[in-house]
Amino acid sequence: MSNMIDFPKLSVVIPSYQQGMFIERTIRSIVEQNYPNLELILMDGGSTDETMSIVERYKSHFAHISSGKDGGQASAIRKGFEIATGDYISWLNSDDTYNPGALLAIGSYLAEHPEVRFVYGDMDLIDAEGKLIAHKRSVKFVLGVMKYAFLTVPQMSAFWSKKLYDEVGGVDASLRFCMDYDLFVRMASRSTPVHIDRTIGNFRIHPTSKTTNLENVRQAEDRLVQTRYCDVKPSNRAAFAIVRYFYLFVLCGLMIMNGSFMNRVGRRVANNLRSECS
């Protein structure tokens, strides 16, 4: 059945720097899928660990490999997308992975729904060893929720058309953390993302990850994105809080509808109990 499908070309950019501990698992999670129309691009920031020696073993799977000093992760992603020739594109950080069959699921859906320009699935949280921490089921997309309350599209589980990406001007290379949030708001404002009920990617949490170490940067860039795109600005604290709480209420409703609300509450309670007991 799958051989009869005209699979769209998927381009995956891997931005990397000093992730030799994880990058082989990232690469293998892509190439072992055997997706029939794949373009793989590595943009490395000049790693001095074992990253490039690992990449060398898989070089036949790459359409392009670059390693050298760059302007940071967002700049590397932007340059990778300038090289990409796929119908649909995404990036996978060098410590994250795809689930088996994920690319075939994405490609099959897009082949059957060519009108869709932006698609996303669910994600799992994993630890440094790859063990499951939690499953995070995504909700139906609502632009106001994304703008004011929560980034509901998991970056490692999303693909979007190259044309849509070009239309909105691409990744903002000045951002260190929220380049996905900024890009996704712009693309979603033009073409509503569609959720598929499939776990696509795994987001790895470990002591050296940005999520662990750059929380202050994330918060500052969140506010910057909201200042750029929200009709009610964060500087208008009272009005912004009202709108934000409204969309948080909408988000809770969406989570109740898809069955993820109580799981999220349970994880929060368990995390708080572990913190108090440690």
SS3 for the chain is: CHHHCCCCCEEEEEEECCCCCCHHHHHHHHHCCCCCCEEEEEEECCCCCCHHHHHHHCHHHCCEEEECCCCCHHHHHHHHHHHCCCCEEEECCCCCEECCCHHHHHHHHHHHCCCCCEEEEEEEEECCCCCEEEEECCCCCCHHHHHHCCCCCCHHHEEEEHHHHHHCCCCCCCCCCCHHHHHHHHHHHHCCCEEEEEEEEEEECCCCCHHHHCHHHHHHHHHHHHHHHCCCCCCCHHHHHHHHHHHHHHHHHHHHHHCCHHHHHHHHHHHHHHHHHC
pLDDT at 2 over 70: no
Tell whether the model's pLDDT for residue 182 goes beyond 70. yes
pLDDT score, position 233: 97
Grade residue 94 by pLDDT with cuts at 50, 70 and 90: very high
Provide the CATH number for the domain formed by 2-277 in this structure.
3.90.550.10
Confidence at residue 5, expressed as pLDDT on a 0 to 100 scale: 79
The model's confidence at residue 150, banded by pLDDT at 50, 70 and 90, is: confident
How confident is the prediction for the chain on average, in pLDDT? 92
pLDDT confidence of residue 95: 96
pLDDT digit string (tens) for 15-45?
999 999 999 999 999 999 999 999 999 999 9
Question: Span 160-167, mean pLDDT?
Answer: 98
Confidence bin at 3 (pLDDT 50/70/90)? low
pTM above 0.85, yes or no: yes
User: What's the confidence (pLDDT) of residue 208?
Assistant: 74
Average pLDDT over residues 206-210: 75
pLDDT score for 262: 64
Where do the domains of the chain lie? 2-277
Span 230-260, pLDDT tens digits: 999 999 999 999 999 999 999 999 999 988 8
